[in-house]
Amino acid sequence: MTYETIIVEQRGAVTLVTLNRPQALNALNGQVLDELLAAMAAFDADASQGCAVVTGSAKAFAAGADIKEMQAQGFAAMYGHDFFAGWDRFTRTRKPIIAAVAGYALGGGCELAMMCDFILAADTAKFGQPEVKLAVSPGMGGSQRLARAVGKAKAMEMCLTGRMMDAAEAERAGLVSRIVPADELVEEAVKTAATIAAMAPLAVLANKEMVNMAFESGLAAGVQFERRLFHGLFGSADQSEGMAAFVEKRAGVWTGK
Ligand code: CAA
């Protein structure tokens, strides 16, 4: 597929996806969604790829859903077509995705970053859910994921006032895993993704699935889910190899089986 609003590159086992609508600060329209879904489906299906990075520009990861696309819409079209439901497919990507955020991650941009498995932030990153200023609300999961990530007080304040969080506050609040200098952001994200891509593939899928279950279940059910996946990994050749390699003081060689 030829992409017009994103750039997709393979760096070894890492798929690097760069949002590329600079004229609109990477605002997320229907074409961006379609292209991202196609890129993520290709990434998931490609056995040579182990982890993805989604990034934007130095000024904006993404400044939101495309306001100009939504401006003339009414309730019937939005509800009738379940507008934004396509983003749920992005979250069903099975392999890990890192968001590398510099500049603005606002509205749908913040929501896209939170749909990724974790966020690496440049020191220039700014996160916000300013939809209330447009007389609407988050619609791509932001109210739910932000509240789970930073707790009710900060999520409520951000959604009700549209206030932005800078990178330092986002790290303190637990929204981002780490802050890196802006000019090292993509390089550091690709390096982190390469570390993940070098792990045994089934173990990576299982680890992602079980951490996500923490957001979907109560503690006892989540712990049970973790244990069953853990048991299941003992059916893989890579488990035998991984533990033998540790005992023999050498690096494991994975087959993905
Ligand atoms: N949708 C469409 N176009 C956008 C956009 C968006 N979300 N954000 C920026 N743009 C466009 C601007 O209209 C402008 O285009 P023109 O040159 O054609 O006028 C261009 O990008 C550059 O933007 P600015 O001139 O505004 O740049 P700035 O540096 O002065 O300001 C900004 C940057 C503070 C991020 C400002 O652009 C802004 O406030 N953007 C909107 C942020 C926002 O409200 N996001 C939420 C959108 S709704 C949503 O996301 C719903 C949801 O739940 C998913």
pLDDT tens-digit series, residues 184-203: 999 999 999 999 999 999 99
What is the SS3 assignment for 93? coil
Distance of alpha carbon 48 from alpha carbon 45, whole angstroms: 9
User: Can you give the pLDDT at residue 197?
Assistant: 98
Ligand 1 centre distance from Cα of residue 221 (Å): 42
Ligand 1 atom 10 nearest Cα:
24
User: Can you give the pLDDT at residue 1?
Assistant: 81
pLDDT tens-digit series, residues 85-141: 999 999 999 999 999 999 999 999 999 999 999 999 999 999 999 999 999 999 999
Q: Exposed, middle or buried, 75 (CB in 10 Å: 0-12/13-18/19+)?
A: exposed
Q: How many Cβ atoms from other residues are within 10 Å of residue 129's Cβ?
A: 28
Mean pLDDT, rounded, for 217-246: 98
Instruction: Tell me the DSSP string of 160-172.
Output: HH---EEHHHHHH
Helices (H), 73-119: 75-80, 87-91, 108-115
Nearest alpha-carbon partner for 199 in 90, 100, 95, 54: 95
pLDDT tens-digit series, residues 18-28: 999 999 999 99
* Residue 252 predicted with pLDDT over 90: yes
Mean pLDDT, rounded, for 34-51: 98
Mean pLDDT, rounded, for 144-168: 98
Mean of the per-residue pLDDT values for the chain?
98
User: Can you give the pLDDT at residue 143?
Assistant: 98
The helix (H) or strand (E) run that includes residue 104 is strand 104-106
Choice from 19, 23, 25 to test ligand 1 binding pocket (greatest atom count within 8 A of CB): 25
Name the token pair of 202. 């089934």
Q: How many Cβ atoms from other residues are within 10 Å of residue 221's Cβ?
A: 11
User: Can you give the pLDDT at residue 61?
Assistant: 99
CA 44 and chain centroid, separation: 14
Could you give the residue numbers annotated as active site?
65, 108, 111, 131
